Structure formats: structure tokens, C-alpha cells
Amino acid sequence: MQILPVYLYANKLDVTLDLDATIRGVNQVMYQRDLTIQKGILNQIRIQFKNSDQKRLSISTSTTFVFSMFDAINQRLIIEKPLEVLSETTSTKGMALLTLNESDTLDLDKSSYTYNVKLRTTDGTYTPAYSNTYYGMNGTLHLKTDAFPVLKDSTEITSLLPAYNASTRLYEYKSGNIYAYPEFNGNSALHTVALYLTAYKGSVLIQGTLDNAPNDDRSYYTIETRGYTGFTGVDYVNFNGVFTHIRIVHIPTKGPLDPNNDNPNFFGSFDKALYRS
């Protein structure tokens, strides 16, 4: 049996805040570790305030600290949030909590950023806190996507080839085999097809198969059928299940004066479809 250790601990960052008039001590930190957070999930970072002697400082819960995050190249402000000063106990002396919600990082690129922490004084001005004991105010923050899924592009279907059905005496326009990625799906896998139509009259069939190499109509069965009588816009079809391939078939309505259903001036147009599994 394999045993997988998983570690759960607080993300803690030390910053230097000299509020006293004493001479700096000799316990100097050579560097500050870079701060690492994950995109698209809740990040909570405990910020430990110390003086230059590396001693934890007592800070009041009424004190206001502000965390600012910048684009490392253009120094453009990305995020600015107040810190929550924790009630002082033996373990939380001089500690504040920074909370970055999912929405704070959702639209940001995976990259390196700079950050700083400032103390807002009673007169509304700011006093810097330092990322090290050499008066470096900015630290480095790495935004990663280890816990954030990377979405793949939808499959775009723009070409459906006509085939004449002798039994119904109608043309059927078929997309061909569209791979449905069964290796990534469970039994309740959700599939979505977006249909882009303009004044369309006819039926659209969403079909699926379990065959690894479907080569004719007998390989497919119809999952859902949609009928339209002049629809313009985007219609969405959602369905569940594991399929090796899907297929999109549209069958235009036959015009009253046309011998076949191949007159786009009557039935409109099936512009394209987007498929995502």
C-alpha cells in the first residue's frame, strides 16, 4: 500500500517594522523568501511583523496595514487589500492575516509580481514595512497555477458535408467523427455543444458512439434532437455520458417549391458549432 504524505500548514511571511527609536540590532536577514500563492483558489498568508533584532512586535488590532501587489515590470497596481491584525496570543504576537480570494487572482497571468506592506498612521499617511533588514521594501511574489485547471479550446465545427438519404429523400449534413476524450470523463461527464444558426429551419441531431473507429451511420445513435423554425442565435445542448466520438447532423426543412431540401435561401444557414467535453 502506498502512503502519500500531505502537509497542511500556514503560509507565513516575515516583515520588518521598526516602530521604536532603538539602534538596529545585528541579527540581519540575508534575504527574504519569495512569496508563492496559487491562482484561482483561496490564499491566506500570515504576515509576522518583527523589528530589526528579529523580535516579534506587539501590534494593536486597531492598526491598519495594507498589502499592495504590483506588476513587476510596469509597477502597475494589481491588488490592494487591508490586513486583518490577529488578536494577540503567545503564538500570534505581531501577526496579521492577508486573505486573497479566488476572484482576486482568477484573471491574473501566471508570473512574478512585486508586493509591499505599508502601515497607515493616524493622520492618513503611510509608513513602510520592510521585506528584509536592509530596508528593501518590495518583495517578490510568484503566482502559480498548480491547483488551477487549464481549459482547452473548444472544438470548432464549420464544415458539414451533405449526404443524400434515399429513404427520407432529404439531404443530411454531417460533421464527421469528433473525438470526445473518454479518457478524461467519468460516467456523469458533461458535454456541451453550442449551435450557431441564422434564420435556420430544420433539425439538428447530436449523436454519440462508443466505437473506437466509427465508419458509418450504424455506429451512431441520436442523443438529442432540436427542431428550429427560423431560429437566429446560439442554442446550447448539454448532455452527459462517456462517448469515444460524437457527431453533429443537421437536416434542413424542405421548401414548398423545392424538390429537395438543399435551398439555403429557404432554410437559412447552419453557421458553426462549438463542442467541449
- Residues of CATH 2.60.40.3350 domain(s) within the chain? 11-144
Q: Look up residue 270 and give its three cell numbers.
A: 447552419
Residue 9 — very low, low, confident or very high, per pLDDT cuts 50/70/90? low
Mean pLDDT of 97-102: 92
Instruction: Provide the CATH number for the domain formed by 155-276 in this structure.
Output: 2.60.120
- Residues of CATH 2.60.120 domain(s) within the chain? 155-276
Instruction: Provide the CATH number for the domain formed by 11-144 in this structure.
Output: 2.60.40.3350
Residue 22 — very low, low, confident or very high, per pLDDT cuts 50/70/90? low
The answer to whether residue 112 scores a pLDDT higher than 60 is yes
Note the pLDDT of residue 20: 56
Burial per residue of 4-43, b for 16 or more beta-carbon CB atoms within 10 angstroms, e otherwise: eeeeeeeeebbbbbbeeeeeeeeeebeebeebebbbbeeb
